[in-house]
Amino acid sequence: MEGVRTIRDEAELRELLGLPTELVQSKIATALNNLTRQFIEHSPFVCVATSRPDGGLDVSPRGDPAGFVRILDERTLLIPDRPGNRLADTLSNLTHDGRIALLFLIPGVGDTFRVNGRAVITDDEALLADSTVEGKPPRLGLLVQIDEAYTQCSKAVVRSDLWNAERHITPADLPSNGEIMRSLNDPDFDAAEYDRARAERYARREGLY
């Protein structure tokens, strides 16, 4: 942005922030242990970041019952891929660049858990069978090889008061998905019908698995 002072090199940044302590640096592991694996086992929600071929980035949410990201061994995870909108941003990106970053959240818990590594897409039916939900196994999964794994302190969650239900808004306080679709596409788009039909599908669990 023109006229705004920016910081463009590491030396200038470190002059302002200083360096992390040895204790902080030591928390970054190359594998899970019996304690850190519990964050993944109890997490029902993970944000997945990948890199596009044009150099851009994507972050996509993944959610299922807690523990849905399976720990195959101390350095390998399996994330089942459930039905979505078929844009397949994450999957498409991984066919070009296997780098991946994960942020695991647990409702009610301040600390989060981060994993950086590389991923490939698998359609191995035997491997994916244990990720079956409501009788439907996933067609695809992400096999993640861990390079870095570490906890993130709860400061951001504390500052945001993220899990405080008294601070939560209701869906009615925001524009609906149908209203957003109408604003981006066709002023005659029936937003109310779109929202109604989508809510009914989700209530029937249709398309979730």
Is residue 20, in this structure, part of any structural domain at all?
A: yes
| Amino acid 95: pLDDT | 98
| Residue 1 pLDDT > 80 | no
What is the per-residue pLDDT for 177? 96
Structural domain includes residue 3: no
Q: Is 95 in the same domain as 182?
A: no
Which pLDDT does position 81 carry in this prediction?
A: 98
- Specify whether 129 is located in the same domain as 181: no
Q: Are 146 and 30 in contact (CB under 8 A)?
A: yes
For 73-120, write each residue's pLDDT tens digit.
999 999 999 999 899 999 999 999 999 999 999 999 999 999 999 999
Is a pLDDT exceeding 80 seen at residue 9?
A: yes
Give me the CATH number covering residue 144: 2.30.110.10
pLDDT at 2: 84
User: Helix 191-203 to helix 177-184 angle, to the nearest 10 degrees?
Assistant: 140
> Average pLDDT in the 181-205 region?
95
Residue 31 has pLDDT above 80, yes or no: yes
Per-residue model confidence (pLDDT) at position 20: 92
Say how many C-beta atoms besides its own lie within 10 A of residue 44's C-beta: 16
Q: What is the average per-residue pLDDT within 25-45?
A: 97
Same domain, 134 and 198: no
Between CA 188 and CA 108 the distance in angstroms is: 41
Instruction: Give 122-168 pLDDT, tens digit per residue.
Output: 999 999 999 999 999 999 999 999 999 999 999 999 999 999 999 99
Where would I find the H helices in the chain? 10-17, 22-26, 37-41, 89-96, 125-128, 155-160, 177-184, 191-203
Q: Is 98 part of a structural domain of the chain?
A: yes
Is residue 35 within 8 Å of residue 113, measured between CB atoms? Answer: no
Can you give the residue range of the structural domain that contains 198? Answer: 169-203
Clarify whether residues 86 and 173 are in a common domain: no
> Per the structure, how many domains does the chain have?
2
Is residue 42 within 8 Å of residue 68, measured between CB atoms? no
Residue 131: inside a domain, yes or no? yes
Average pLDDT over residues 4-24: 94
Return the percentage of the chain with pLDDT > 70, whole number: 100
Give residue 7's pLDDT band: very low, low, confident or very high (50, 70, 90).
very high
- Shared-domain flag, residues 96 and 189: no
Q: Give, as one character, the DSSP assignment of residue 199.
A: H
Do residues 93 and 149 share a domain?
A: yes
In a domain, 117, yes or no: yes
Does 189 map to a domain? Answer: yes
Same structural domain, 15 and 52 = yes
Q: Are residues 138 and 175 in the same domain?
A: no
